[in-house]
A and B are shown apart, each in its own frame.
Chain A
Amino acid sequence: MSGPHLKFYHQPWFRAFLLVVAIVIVFFVARDLATPASFGQYGYYRGQNVNDWATREVAFSGGSTTCQACHQDKHEAWAAGPHAGINCESCHGPAAAHPANPGQVRPEVPAGREFCALCHDINVARAKAVQQVDVAQHNPGPDCTTCHNPHRPLPVGMGGKQ
């Protein structure tokens, strides 16, 4: 393409070509700098991220046995009653950080009739395996826990409430 009239490096196409080459070089250098170190370790993604996720701290403990040592009474009652299938933290919320620091980090203590209603209120869609009461009708007024022990919920007089 370079005619004899002009040295090739004076020609427009060469100047433009140089510019494009410069852009491409800058791109590759930038890409090399910007690609994370562990990218491609396991696949086409940043491998370190697997560790990021796996090492996140848990909020919920491993299970109800975690609570057994310190809350023997509750655990015993619970294990013998109909709520034994329900994890302590299902009602008490995340408590993984609680054992190390029981005074400071306190799990929730659920209260109120609406709480028990979550599982026991009448609902046509609800599995019949769970006893349902019409919360508005069933002994209205006091908290459910005045008559039922939440950890071993059998009615008063049937050995439920301690």
Chain B
Amino acid sequence: MSGFVFPNEMEINWSLLIVLYPYITGLVAGAFIVSALYHVFNRRQLAPVGRLALVTALSFLIVAPMPLLLHLGQPVRGLEIMWTPNPTSAMAGFGYIYSFYMVILLLEIWFIFRSDIVAHARSSRGIARLGYTVLSLGAWDTSPRTLEQDHRLTTVLASIGIPAAAFLHGYVGFIFGAIKANPWWSTPLQPVIFLLSAIVSGMALLMLVYAVTCWRRKEAVDHQCLMSLNKYLWYFLILDVCLEVLEVISKMYEAEEAWPVIYQLLTAYLPVTFFGLQLALGAVVPLVLLTVARRAGSRSGQALTLLSAALILVGVFSMRWNVVIGGQMLSKSLRGFTAYHPPFLGLEGVLPAVVILALPFVILAVVCRIIPPWSQKAAGEEYYSSDVEVSA
């Protein structure tokens, strides 16, 4: 604490867990957009990650409400947001948007993987057979005609999913952007910035997940696919950075009442995470590396692309930190700053945060066992039916 902060601001109210929440939903939105590029916009190069993107989005979506719930003062009352949502609250939408999106995503995954599920049900026995039968909802028909129907529904669902994903994350930005009381948060650009950084981080995540799964399965990374992701990533990243910088510049140029404190916040309290991690390492360097990677050889090109992806993940995390924590460091008295150092243990410490961040990967591994998302070499045939064995 330095300068004067109001007595009720001695401690930060939204801690590390609330940094994780927009970060994780962002990853969901980004991964989903990649799958939509393939399933709706028919970007064939993305076939190798089309299905992987969906199950990745699902794994992270399952975990997304966890940091929120853990952070509540009264976690058991969390469902009240479903029973009596306040229509004037930006946050009240969470329950409904989340549920809606979850249903859409599950349906889309179900239709895409249904023939696989049926194949698994047919080829397995015992508990596994029962499990797959339940998963199939008893719809075992895999005639080309039914599959064609599935396919059409998938496209519809994915098209609904795009605005849902955009909404899910754009509105997280709105939660912050609409707080007039906080000069660092309050800007109409916030939802757009959150959405773009979400897409960027989700793509970066997917690239890494894809690379790791390839490596685990001893398969070559599809170079075309990775480079095409590289290009999309670059486009979204440049937009994202421009808006992030624009936001700060306009605050400065308008010489807002709070600019002196925001300036102090950025230069004295967040210089490393804002200029260092968010802008330099998380944006400028990846922009350069991604460009270089497209011109480099196949091995080094892939390596550079993946390195950029990792940097971007760090950068976007820093961005979330700078918004969520930075905004609360700045006192509403405009005369001081509250310090924040997350504890290691405890409900809101670093350890639970790490566990929460690791959880989606565990879920992803499990999901990949149940319904392997790997496409066969005949990429593009998303409703192929195969007799891939479920490795026990």
Contacts and interface: CB of A to CB of B under 8 A. Distances in A.
A3 B152 CA distance: 14
A157 interface: no
B82 A12 contact: no
A12 B146 contact: yes
A39 B84 contact: yes
A31 B83 contact: yes
A124 interface: no
A139 interface: no
Contact of B149 (A13, A19, A44): A13
Contacts of A31: 82-83
B90 interface: no
Contacts of A1: 149
Given A31-B82, A34-B79, A11 B103 contact: no
B137 interface: yes
B149 A16 contact: no
Given A5-B143, A6-B141, A19-B137, A13 B82 contact: no
A9 to B, nearest CB: 10
A12 B86 contact: no
Contact residues of A: prevailing secondary structure = helix
Interface in B77-109: 79-80, 82-84, 86-87, 103, 107
A29 B56 CA distance: 32
B80 to A, nearest CB: 8
B4 interface: no
Interface in A1-42: 1, 3, 5-6, 10-13, 15-16, 19-20, 23, 27, 30-31, 34-35, 39
A11 B82 contact: no
A15 B137 contact: yes
B83 A16 contact: no
Contact of B82 (A16, A27, A44): A27
Given A12-B139, A13-B153, A6 B86 contact: no
Given A1-B149, A35-B84, A10 B139 contact: yes
Given A27-B82, A31-B83, A39-B84, A12 B145 contact: no
Given A12-B114, A20-B103, A35-B84, A5 B150 contact: no
A11 B79 contact: no
A134 to B, nearest CB: 27
A16 B107 contact: yes
Nearest to A6: B141
**By CB atoms of chain A within 10 A, which of B80, B103, B139 has the most?**
B139
Given A10-B141, A11-B139, A12-B139, A23 B103 contact: yes
A44 B86 contact: yes
Nearest to B96: A27
Contacts of A13: 149-150, 153
Interface of A: 1, 3, 5-6, 10-13, 15-16, 19-20, 23, 27, 30-31, 34-35, 39, 44
17 contacts: A6-B141, A11-B139, A11-B141, A12-B141, A12-B146, A12-B150, A12-B153, A13-B150, A15-B137, A16-B111, A16-B137, A27-B82, A31-B82, A34-B79, A34-B80, A44-B84, A44-B86
Given A6-B141, A10-B139, A11-B141, 14 more contacts: A5-B146, A12-B111, A12-B149, A12-B153, A13-B149, A13-B150, A13-B153, A15-B137, A20-B107, A30-B82, A31-B83, A34-B79, A34-B80, A35-B84
In order of increasing CB-CB distance, the 5 nearest A-B pairs are: A15-B137, A12-B139, A34-B83, A15-B139, A31-B83
Interface of B: 79-80, 82-84, 86-87, 103, 107, 110-111, 114, 137-139, 141, 143, 145-146, 149-150, 153
